[in-house]
Structure 1
């Protein structure tokens, strides 16, 4: 067999696989998106489900379903297989690939323009997730500092390498001494991973969940104009010390190192080097340059 990095599985074959594995009558299956994992919509007389087909080598699909069950309300739930197991496996061209089936989260992604009230509810939902996820045995998140050398190796501009290295070193030092609370993070807290169902917000896509500084989940929202509303909502559920708020720009630096590594390595491997022209690398480097200007006042370009 030809060595394969990534395959796209025939939806009709998956439809029959889901029918057997879950004991469902499946009337249709269509690919919705394909990147790190492949997500399919599965249609049945009882309604829609989401099928997640993980990349080869991903060995914790059942843990994502278990985390959703642990959190409970406010998170889309996984569906056990007919035999009671939480995840199945198919023999794809590139190797075994796990799959899970999920309830179709009610509602839809929040529409723009997005109000302060929406972000307040978003903050409430994020804090509720952090509270409910406590006690779950999640793996530690990858330390972005361990990815730095790989990132620097693929940055052609010496100034970008200098900025990225200096910010990362300072961020690691600041975070290490900040005494931040650790716990189970969602790992990708954006409104792209939320459905709004009336006043309820429902999270889905927990495959990035890991044990980390909890404030890391808040960093992407902290850069938006709606951050005060989000923070106010979060603090109605759980405490967020000022030390954690002050650490958010440094956590953002570390997140961007992780983003750069993904866009420089994993994404081109999946989507080809054309993905490097989409602007994500330039955007993250631009954010790091801007951060250096105010986080490192002594910085000279």
Structure 2
């Protein structure tokens, strides 16, 4: 797909803010706006919408989606030539995000974006993942069904409508995220998710590349390639990172010794654990604990 990609780190999942319909007749132009502070997702239901963001312009046709950035200049690039109908959804995120030119660029910058996210989203020990949303694409039938359901909720009482719309919007994003993947990407994603799940369930034991090969029946090189593509790190690097993240939880939620925590999360030597932790976090496990827990 020849489209830029919006790369979000979650949680928190991008959340719905507002939505509506708009109709244009021949000669009408989309309104000009600058830095509106929310993402503006547009779906054309009928006609053609000429629209621009900064120095790029599009002619959106029926069934096409465009996501405009919260920090860009949006404008009608030309008058509509006929009756045009659109739906728009405003959404935002508290987490880190970046617009990239390709999936390769997204993955190359994934580790850096995750580290930025953990500071911006106030997450010190939560598992995070990437959401990849194409900036522009042709909407699929399944995604359109979710949007139809989304707008049908306008007739719900406000208290129920807000809950249901958030859930529907997240389901819609999930469709966009999955529809982006090529067949080869989809295979890598499925395999990487199996590796990730196996590591999560067995991280306290002595996982090796040979064990993963036996469990998943793929050569370690292909397993590593899939994990690098999806998570930006090899299975063994992911294992170490996951163990360190779990140790943060124990540092904050228990009074266990550093040695016990190291053993609980799968490190055989407390010195190795402390060295890995310090290299990743810039402070020792004890220093991390003191930073967030004040003794009475």
Q: TM-score, normalised by structure 1?
A: 0.26
More strand by share: 2
